[in-house]
Amino acid sequence: MTANKPVKVRHGRKIVEATPAQISKGAAVARALEQKPGYTAAVCAGDDLTDESMFELDSPGLITIKVGGGPTKARFTVSDPATFRQLLADCFANSGG
């Protein structure tokens, strides 16, 4: 499947991610944001090393959240998935939507 094509292998805590060399979660998010000019906010959250490329993006309105411990480039951190779910619930409850 990947013969003769450059592949980047990223090792996470419980996964190994193999993707074409030029593709990453950060590249996918950057492209999605480029296709939606005028967005006011976007949230990227993750709990793994493979999510760090999203956290490194510097886009207006981008909110990056690391779920769990460890070093990160994310702007915010929460301790665990339950805390993240509660954060989302609180945001939606207060949004009036």
- Please give the CATH superfamily to which domain 7-94 belongs: HAD superfamily/HAD-like (3.40.50.1000)
CA separation for the pair 35, 19 (Å, rounded): 22
Work out the pLDDT band at 97, boundaries 50, 70, 90: low
pLDDT tens per residue across span 18-36: 777 778 899 999 999 999 8
In this structure, the number of other CB atoms found within 10 A of the CB of residue 67 comes to: 22
Note the pTM of the prediction, 2 decimals: 0.79
Specify the pLDDT at position 73. 98
Q: Is the pLDDT of residue 57 over 60?
A: yes
Specify the pLDDT at position 3. 66
Q: Is the pLDDT of residue 39 over 90?
A: no
Task: State mean pLDDT over 76-80.
Answer: 98
Work out the pLDDT band at 42, boundaries 50, 70, 90: very high
CA separation for the pair 55, 22 (Å, rounded): 17
Q: What percentage of the chain has pLDDT greater than the value 70?
A: 95
